[in-house]
Chain A
Amino acid sequence: MSDVYVIGTNMIRFGRYPQRTVEDLGAEAALLALQDAGLGIRDMQALYCGNVGEANRSVGQRILQQIGQTGIPVVNTANACATGATAFREGWIGIKSGLYDLVLCIGVEQMGRGLLGGGSSYAGVPTEGLVGSGTMPSMFASLGMEHSRKYGTTFEQFARVSVKNHHHSTLNDKAMYRFETPLEQVMEAEMIAFPLTKLMCSVNVDGAAAAIVCSECRTRELGLMDRAVRVRASILKSDPYTAHNLALLDFNTITRHAADAAYEMAGVGPGELELIELHDCFATAELMHYENLRICGDGEAGALIDSGETGLGGRIPVNVSGGLLSKGHPLGATGLANIYEVVTQLRGEAGARQVDGARIGMTHVVGAGSSCAIHILEKA
């Protein structure tokens, strides 16, 4: 089978747009991505649209009402934090199968403020605090403590993730936050659930991102191979049974399964990646995923963040966009924003945050419930 390419992509600046609608945010990102490819909605043969908050309300069709009702098939996806990546992967499947040559993939979300999480009630009765906690920060705090239990990882090491990713976002004009957060500021911020302070939790924002996915044949016909990025691997996994997973979600095993499958599909190893956008929904998660994605050995994530090698200019820059921690985490848009970032880097168009000479990069998202998507992309 021939390869699949991303030939256009863009995102809106992540932020808070309470006066706008989901379809308006998604339409803006879609038009920007089409413009990037020099194409129009009439060129698209299908739309894959990821959104969580209005998953049962035909968001993809509503976007087409904004940008052109051409009658193409629309698939709306909802897959927790892997929603946008799932939409992108469905587009990849559509091209890979030979059914289509050109499809549009969109991820979009409007979020409220405040804590996310479930499990705070049973049979309609609130149980938060009475039967542990169901908030997302408490879950990822407990997972960070599990890492500390195994390897002695410290509060300070987790906090360094936020220092790094907030620094990266000062170089990204599409990020929600654009300010430095020194280590003391991160550690002294309001404690949410130890070891996570407020600056170690991702930002609930509104956002949208989109990508145009194309067959090899059509990419050549359109003369767009110069800026095209090849999809070397597209993997989606659900959570396998593990003993603790039913009581505290196990994001480690699912990510390891997805990463191993992605490396096998791409025929590359972790040592060949030149940048990664991974799911730093909380600072603890980034260190867990260094090991899960095999960019360091088990128990070495604390030392890796200390070394600075995952910062811009280091051996394997992680979340140079600012990540979910600082760029923001609009659930359904996050996966496609990761695609935008890595494609932009591989094209050499990332400006002040450009990873020099990057040719191969990875995107990773993992959502509660659970769902993990990994893509490996390569400059064509």
Chain B
Amino acid sequence: MSAPEAGPARPLAPFIKIDADGKPYLEGFRCAACGEVLAVGSRRACPKCTVVGMLKPIRLAERGRLYTYTVVHRSFPGVATPFVAALVDLDGGGTVKGTLVGVESGAICFDMPLRVEFETLDMSGESAGQYVRHFFTVARN
């Protein structure tokens, strides 16, 4: 693992974008008609209010709170376990799934404040290359 950097690294989720300075961020969309914030990519129309062509890209917050989670003990073959799969409500709107790292399962509590972080991964095998992922850590302040 190394610090995120510009270049060939590709996002591991559709809502991860790299800005002009090479810094990764989570892209969301706000509907200019109803105000709803979406965190999973653009749509032709707002899935909530159905108004067409009014979703505007926004930069989602990098702070949020843990809505729900599970500790995954068995996953697909070759996937290291256990890990914490989390659903996080971001400050200012948008809900994103991801992996919560650096916290013992017994210390996890609903609504705990979390921070969105990014890292660049070097992957080998069929998908060899550099990828950027987001993950969650406990916000300490």
Interface positions of A (Cβ within 8 A of B):
115, 120, 122-133, 135, 137-138, 141-146, 149, 190-196, 241, 243-244, 246-248
Residue B133 CB within 8 A of the other chain: yes
A241 partner residues in chain B, CB cutoff 8 A = 47-48
Q: Could you tell me if A115 and B13 are in contact, using CB atoms closer than 8 angstroms?
A: no
Q: Could you tell me if A123 and B68 are in contact, using CB atoms closer than 8 angstroms?
A: no
Given contacts A128-B79, A135-B76, A247-B95, contact A122 B12 (CB under 8 A): yes
Q: Could you tell me if A192 and B38 are in contact, using CB atoms closer than 8 angstroms?
A: no
B75 partner residues in chain A, CB cutoff 8 A = 115, 128-129, 133, 135, 138
Q: How large is the interface on B (under 10, 10 to 19, 20 to 34, 35 or more residues)?
A: 35 or more
Q: Could you tell me if A244 and B72 are in contact, using CB atoms closer than 8 angstroms?
A: no
Given contacts A132-B86, A145-B69, contact A123 B97 (CB under 8 A): no
| Chain A residue at minimum C-beta to C-beta distance from B83 | A129
| Chain A residue at minimum C-beta to C-beta distance from B133 | A130
B38 partner residues in chain A, CB cutoff 8 A = 246
| Chain B residue at minimum C-beta to C-beta distance from A120 | B76
Q: Could you tell me if B95 and A131 are in contact, using CB atoms closer than 8 angstroms?
A: no
Residue B103 CB within 8 A of the other chain: no
Residue B39 CB within 8 A of the other chain: yes
Assembled-state Cα–Cα distance A133/B81 (Å) = 11
A149 partner residues in chain B, CB cutoff 8 A = 67-68, 110
Residue B3 CB within 8 A of the other chain: no
Q: Could you tell me if B13 and A129 are in contact, using CB atoms closer than 8 angstroms?
A: no
B81 partner residues in chain A, CB cutoff 8 A = 129
Given contacts A122-B12, A125-B131, A132-B98, contact A138 B72 (CB under 8 A): yes
Within 8 Å by CB of B73, from A123, A126, A127, A194, lies: A194
Within 8 Å by CB of A122, from B13, B87, B95, lies: B13
Interface positions of B (Cβ within 8 A of A):
10-14, 36, 38-40, 47-48, 67-76, 79-81, 83, 85-87, 95-99, 105, 110, 121, 123, 127, 131, 133-135
A-B contact pairs, 26 of them (CB 8 A): A115-B76, A120-B76, A122-B13, A125-B12, A125-B123, A125-B127, A127-B12, A129-B80, A131-B98, A131-B99, A133-B70, A133-B83, A137-B74, A138-B70, A138-B72, A138-B85, A144-B70, A146-B67, A191-B74, A192-B74, A193-B73, A194-B71, A243-B36, A246-B39, A246-B47, A247-B96
Max chain B Cβ within 10 angstroms of own Cβ: one of A122, A149, A247: A247
Assembled-state Cα–Cα distance A123/B134 (Å) = 16
| Chain A residue at minimum C-beta to C-beta distance from B108 | A145
Given contacts A125-B123, A125-B127, A130-B133, contact A142 B47 (CB under 8 A): no
The distance from the CB of B3 to the nearest CB of chain A, in whole angstroms, is 17
B36 partner residues in chain A, CB cutoff 8 A = 243
| Chain A residue at minimum C-beta to C-beta distance from B71 | A194
Assembled-state Cα–Cα distance A130/B101 (Å) = 10
A127 partner residues in chain B, CB cutoff 8 A = 12-13, 133
Within 8 Å by CB of A191, from B48, B73, B134, lies: B73
A145 partner residues in chain B, CB cutoff 8 A = 68-70
Assembled-state Cα–Cα distance A247/B85 (Å) = 12
| Chain A residue at minimum C-beta to C-beta distance from B93 | A243
Q: Could you tell me if A244 and B74 are in contact, using CB atoms closer than 8 angstroms?
A: no
Assembled-state Cα–Cα distance A195/B97 (Å) = 18
Given contacts A149-B110, A244-B67, A246-B39, contact A129 B72 (CB under 8 A): yes
Q: Could you tell me if A142 and B69 are in contact, using CB atoms closer than 8 angstroms?
A: yes
A128 partner residues in chain B, CB cutoff 8 A = 75-76, 79
| Chain A residue at minimum C-beta to C-beta distance from B96 | A247
Q: Could you tell me if B95 and A243 are in contact, using CB atoms closer than 8 angstroms?
A: yes
